[in-house]
Amino acid sequence: MTSQPVERVGFFTDTSVCIGCKACEVACKEWNAIPADGLDLLGMSFDNTGQLDANSWRHVAFIEQPTSAPDGGMRWLMASDVCKHCTHAACLDVCPTGSLLRTEFDTVVVQADICNGCGYCVSACPYGVIARREGDGRVWKCTMCYDRLGADLRPACATACPTESIQFGPLDELRERAAARLEALDDPRARLYGHDPDDGVGGQGAFFLLLDEPEVYGLPPAPVATTRDLPDMWKHAGLAALTMAAAVVVSFLGRRR
């Protein structure tokens, strides 16, 4: 692995064609040998995984919405969520061991063999993606199938998706494709989420076309890298320390006189 990106790749998830089959979840678990979980229905929907965690690197949300149709009825929103592989990744900033790093594909991965389980990245992630594995203590998350990328293969989830809801490729191409899809969809409720390089995390490496507000899907409406103010904080702390040191020196010299 290297910190020098070659061509940034990512995911574009078009939720308008997601059918909730969970093929992405199964493919992800199978390829990455992730322990089984999510065998219990949650009592709220057909969603049996609930959220992204150390044992669910893909999570297909099932959202039921009542419609305004005369006969009532429901509208189903389905979306396959994943780690966003942020441009400004707070998890990278706070990791004390270098376990979290950025690959040559500009994705963010965890090297589990040097993770000390401190959990700083868990609280730093603005999306609540990263989690520690019970009985293990280390953190785990989507690697965008780094081993497959090195062999010029697509990630397992994108390969398994039967409707091409999950699309993989160069990020710039995906953004163009997403903009065209949004225009063609012509739905006033539809919007792109995480595609803007000027957002609070510098743009996501995994972004989405949604059919409602982000909050409906359990996504923060305005995510911000939790460490974005660290440089200014360190600068102010340094100036304060220098001021205190200067005051001590002046006081010491004054006593000597």
Residues belonging to the binding site for [4Fe-4S] cluster are 18, 21, 24, 28, 83, 86, 91, 95, 115, 118, 121, 125, 142, 145, 157, 161
For residue 167 the two structure tokens come to 């699309």
Q: How far is CA 256 from CA 31, 193, 247, 248, 252, in A?
A: 72, 64, 14, 13, 7
Question: Residue holding tokens 């006593």?
Answer: 255
Separation of CA 33 from chain center? 20
Q: How far is CA 37 from CA 52, 81, 142, 179, in A?
A: 11, 16, 16, 35
**Quick check: 30 and 57 in contact, CB under 8 A?**
no
Per-residue three-class SS string for 167-220: EEEEHHHHHHHHHHHHHHHCCCCCEEECCCCCCECCCCCEEEEECCCHHHHCCC
**Closest residue by Cα to residue 57 from 88, 90, 80, 86:** 80
Q: Point out the annotated binding site.
A: 18, 21, 24, 28, 83, 86, 91, 95, 115, 118, 121, 125, 142, 145, 157, 161
Separation of CA 253 from chain center? 54
